[in-house]
Amino acid sequence: MHGARWIINKLIEGYEKLNPINKQKVEEKVFEILLLIRDERTIFDLHKLLNPIFKVTLPSFKKLIKSKREINKDKVVESLVKNNIVPFIDTKTNGRCYYNKLDDTLSMSVDEKILENILIDNGVKIPGIYPTFRVGFNPKDMGDKFDLYGKTFNLFSPTKYMYMKKNDEKIDWEVSCPRTFELLRNLIPVKGEREHFINWLSFIFNTREKARTAWVLKGIQGSGKNLFFDKIIKPLFGQNQTIVVDDDRLQSDFNGYMNNKLFVAFNEVANDETKTKRSVKSKIKALISDCMMIVNEKHVRTYEMENYTNILFFSNEAIPLLIEEQDRRFNVIETGGTLKAVPSFKKNPEKFIEDTNDELDKFAQFLLNFSYDKITVDEVIENEAKKEIKELSMNKYELFASKLKAGNFEWFEQYYPEPRNTQQKNDKLKLWMTEDELKNKKVEQEKLLRTFYQYSHTSYCDQGCLTKLMKIHGIKKFRERRAESSTYYYTW
């Protein structure tokens, strides 16, 4: 006799003589046995045995077992997620994972044997069947990590500051958060630019959404860039949800560091090789602008996640990254001097940092109460620091064309030969572009070519080649016919 049949036979002996409460207890024990059976033939035999008790057809009997199995499974999962170590299968990568509540970390694609050893070491019973959840990162959801009904696991963990509520308190942060203010004033010396940054930061802190603009903090070492990130950004947005990475990680094909991050700071960004700079340009655009991203980690199948990451760049290089002429993504800031020049920091650096920590509650409340403008968040500052990087990012043809379209006569004039006599002064008017010609956006071909060669010291780019390159940048060549002759011009 099948073991299950033998046990059930014993359980249902004298069933008819039992009172309703004891009958229910017997039925529960019977179902404990039934839930362990997967063989269809055995289920068929047990249906015949139990039909006098349950009085249902075979299909209804199977449905009853299935529903009980689901209820039992939910109880097992509910019990499992209460442990400090929670094993499960991620349905996006089809890999075994475990969540460690103690340090709020998720380990993905863990070998089965290793996972079993981890569970045993932590006193967790190895599940017969691993529960399945879809791993995601949703900063809008402040609820439990595991959604048992939606079958999702949320990587997001709110910080204590995120539980604070907006109120009517008017906070002058220069007075209430003096060390935080001094730190940011040293990082962003220009008041208008600093206010723009506060608007940007307040929007992110209040909404936990992704801003479509990024900040490049460019300046000498010791100005407080990393101190700001470690002592303000990390505690406000979460130690595990913020990270500083080096330039090598930006250029790598693996981007697992972006997973479950609200902030990423690329530190000491510098690209010396033009080829390398241009290879990461599209990647940077995607990091800043795209709502979704493909996560590529070692030994894990690639998967798509929503992109909530906000981006900062720290550098002391002249060209941290390439910025296009019509850029709408980057705010570039020339930072102040070293923090050692700030009197309160110079007097006692440890006390300065300690005071900054103590101000976090008040600064968080200031950000919550700040009336941010969402439209302004998507706008970027056009200043000299950004203009300089734009020009350094261009090749000589792009730069020449941009100066033509801007009508920047002073820039061209610096390349003209210095006249030494009256004849050379007259030649200057005949041979070189004039300010009026630039304003009228119409320059004779020979003048433009002569100016370009003088500026670029280029001999291998002939007139036909230059015409094609200028056309790419919106500067076209045309012929103006006259009665006896015709002249070629460039216009834009």
Residues 6+ away with beta carbon under 8 Å from 415: 451, 454, 455
Separation of alpha carbons 124 and 225, rounded Å = 43
Higher pLDDT, 255 or 467: 467
- 160's tokens: 């204590």
Encode pLDDT of 166-213 as tens digits: 999 999 999 999 999 999 999 999 999 999 999 999 999 999 999 999
How high does pLDDT run on average in the chain? 89
pLDDT at 428: 67
Separation of alpha carbons 327 and 385, rounded Å = 14
Radius of gyration over every alpha carbon of the chain, rounded to an integer in angstroms: 34
The identity of residue 449, as a single letter, is L
- 161's tokens: 């500051």
Separation of alpha carbons 291 and 307, rounded Å = 5
pLDDT at 98: 96
Encode pLDDT of 447-485 as tens digits: 998 889 888 876 556 788 889 889 998 999 999 888 778
- Whether residue 435 is predicted with pLDDT greater than 70 in this model: the reply is yes
Going by pLDDT thresholds of 50, 70 and 90, the confidence category of residue 102 is very high
Encode pLDDT of 274-317 as tens digits: 444 555 777 888 889 888 888 888 777 788 888 999 999 999 88
Residues 6+ away with beta carbon under 8 Å from 269: 216, 247, 250, 313, 314, 315, 317, 320, 321
Which class would CATH give 173-389? alpha beta
The answer to whether the pTM exceeds 0.85 is no
- CA proximity to 233, closest of 223, 243, 224: 243
- Percent of the chain past pLDDT 90, that is, above it, reads 52
Average pLDDT over residues 372-390: 94
> Where in the chain are the domains?
3-78, 81-157, 173-389, 394-491
